[in-house]
């Protein structure tokens, strides 16, 4: 590629590069097999554009607060707006791409065009500084947005148009696809919008959504025009009140329908819960009755012969060895044997004591046997003294 081929691009930019190698690097995609690409200049140009666009909005709208300025900058500093700037300048025709990317229509991709635009601004800043880059960016913004307003950047025309049509006509806009043309990678869709049976606008776009937005923007601007508003008010001055009443009625109906659905759902769930509880209780009762009947039947049908013969527990028998018994017997104190006293007759009473000695003698009584008495053992203290048996050989 000759450097003379960049003259058309430089004239659209309003800047002549002294070092064309910077411009070549800014237009070279990484898919192209070269030792350089535009990613580093893209990084630099992104920061420069963020600063310059914020500065432009700050000077253009001195009464806007930080929130509004941030929204406007975010709507300008993005891939879509930078791709539009690149198409206006003609960067897509000068891109250096690989054959595969060329076959995939890389020159029409927003991502490639946006990156190349940032890289070109970075190259200008690198060669001539911030002041020269500021002049070029300010001029591009003024040409692309001659009457820049916040609503032009941040407004969603479909939702805004829907609010107006509900307020004035109590109806929603209807979008209709008229035609689509072009190859698959670059199709064009044509849509029309009708409100209350009347066609308001026809728009085109590279997608259905963009075509709907174009239609909605045209219809919104028509309805917001003061002449249209006056004409609608003069035709039917009570139109707005009727539309508002209709909207209120529709909203009330929708709310009542939702409440009815919720009530019916809650009632159904409560009934199902009660049914489930009753069913569970009945099942438990049936199971308990079945278990009781089965137990009774089992008890009746039981056969004593079927029962296992469990042996009775034998009484415990304490066995004592003969050796232990003899030792215990020896260790126990033995009672002394009592000597039986011979029965002796009492001496006959003397004659001095018996007054009537001549009388017949009385029969003699059996001898008195005294009761056995325990041998008297000496009193010992509470501690029992046990006599140990003598072993053989101790004596």
Structure tokens at 168: 């004035």
65 noted as active-site residue: no
Task: Starting at the earlier edge strand, list the strands of the sheet with 198-205.
Answer: 174-181, 188-195, 198-205
φ and ψ of 330, to 5 deg = -70, -35
Instruction: Select which of 25, 42, 101, 118 is catalytic.
Output: 118
118 noted as active-site residue: yes
Instruction: Select which of 25, 42, 46, 101 is catalytic.
Output: 46
Structure tokens at 303: 């056969």
d(CA 350, CA 355): 10
Rounding to the nearest 10 degrees, give the CA dihedral for residues 317, 318, 322, 326: -140
Nearest partner of 207 among 227, 224, 187, judged by Cα? 187
CB burial class (10 A; 0-12, 13-18, 19+) of residue 156? exposed
- The 10 Å Cβ neighbour count of residue 377 is 9
Cα dist. 314→307, 311, 317, 318 in Å? Answer: 20, 9, 9, 12
Per DSSP, the three-state class of 16 is: coil
* Whether 30 contacts 37, CB under 8 Å: yes
* Residues whose CB falls within 8 Å of the CB of residue 97, separated by 6 or more in sequence, listed in order: 29, 31, 32, 106, 107, 112
With both helix axes pointing from N to C terminus, report the angle between 66-76 and 39-60 in degrees, rounded to the nearest 10.
140
Cα dist. 111→6, 78, 93 in Å? Answer: 22, 10, 15
Nearest partner of 170 among 236, 234, 260, 221, judged by Cα? 236
Residues acting as catalytic residues:
46, 118
């Amino acid at each position: 590629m000759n450097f003379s081929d960049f003259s058309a691009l430089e004239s659209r930019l309003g800047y002549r590069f002294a070092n064309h190698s910077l411009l070549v690097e800014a237009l070279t995609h990484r898919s192209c097999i070269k030792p350089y690409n535009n990613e580093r200049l893209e990084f630099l140009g992104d920061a420069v554009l963020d600063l310059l666009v914020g500065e432009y909005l700050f000077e253009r709208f001195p009464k806007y607060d930080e929130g509004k300025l941030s929204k406007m900058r975010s709507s300008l500093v993005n891939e879509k707006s930078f791709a539009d700037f690149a198409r206006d300048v003609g960067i897509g025709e000068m891109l250096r791409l690989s054959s595969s990317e060329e076959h995939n229509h890389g020159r029409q991709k927003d991502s490639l065009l946006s990156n190349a635009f940032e890289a070109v601004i970075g190259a200008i800043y690198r060669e001539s500084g911030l002041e020269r880059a500021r002049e070029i960016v300010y001029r591009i913004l003024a040409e692309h947005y001659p009457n820049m307003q916040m609503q032009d950047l941040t407004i969603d025309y479909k939702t805004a148009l829907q609010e107006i049509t509900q307020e004035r006509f109590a109806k929603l806009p209807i979008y209709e696809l008229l035609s689509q043309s072009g190859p698959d990678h670059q199709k064009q869709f044509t849509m029309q919008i009708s409100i209350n049976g009347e066609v308001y606008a026809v728009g085109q776009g590279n997608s259905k959504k963009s075509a709907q937005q174009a239609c909605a923007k045209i219809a919104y601007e028509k309805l917001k025009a003061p002449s249209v508003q006056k004409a609608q008010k003069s035709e039917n001055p009570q139109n707005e009140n009727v539309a508002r009443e209709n909207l209120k009625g529709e909203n009330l109906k929708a709310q009542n329908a939702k409440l009815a659905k919720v009530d019916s759902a809650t009632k159904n769930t409560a009934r199902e819960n009660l049914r489930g509880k009753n069913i569970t209780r009945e099942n438990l009762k049936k199971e308990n009755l079945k278990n009781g009947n089965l137990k009774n039947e089992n008890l009746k049908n039981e056969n004593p012969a079927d029962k296992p013969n469990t042996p009775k527990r034998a009484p415990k028998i304490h066995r004592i060895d003969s050796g232990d018994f003899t030792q215990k017997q020896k260790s126990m104190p033995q009672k002394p044997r009592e000597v039986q006293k011979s029965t002796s007759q009492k001496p006959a009473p003397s004659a001095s004591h018996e007054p009537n000695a001549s009388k017949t003698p009385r029969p003699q009584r059996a001898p008195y046997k005294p009761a056995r008495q325990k041998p008297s053992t000496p009193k010992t203290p509470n501690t029992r003294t046990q006599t140990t048996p003598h072993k053989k050989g101790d004596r």
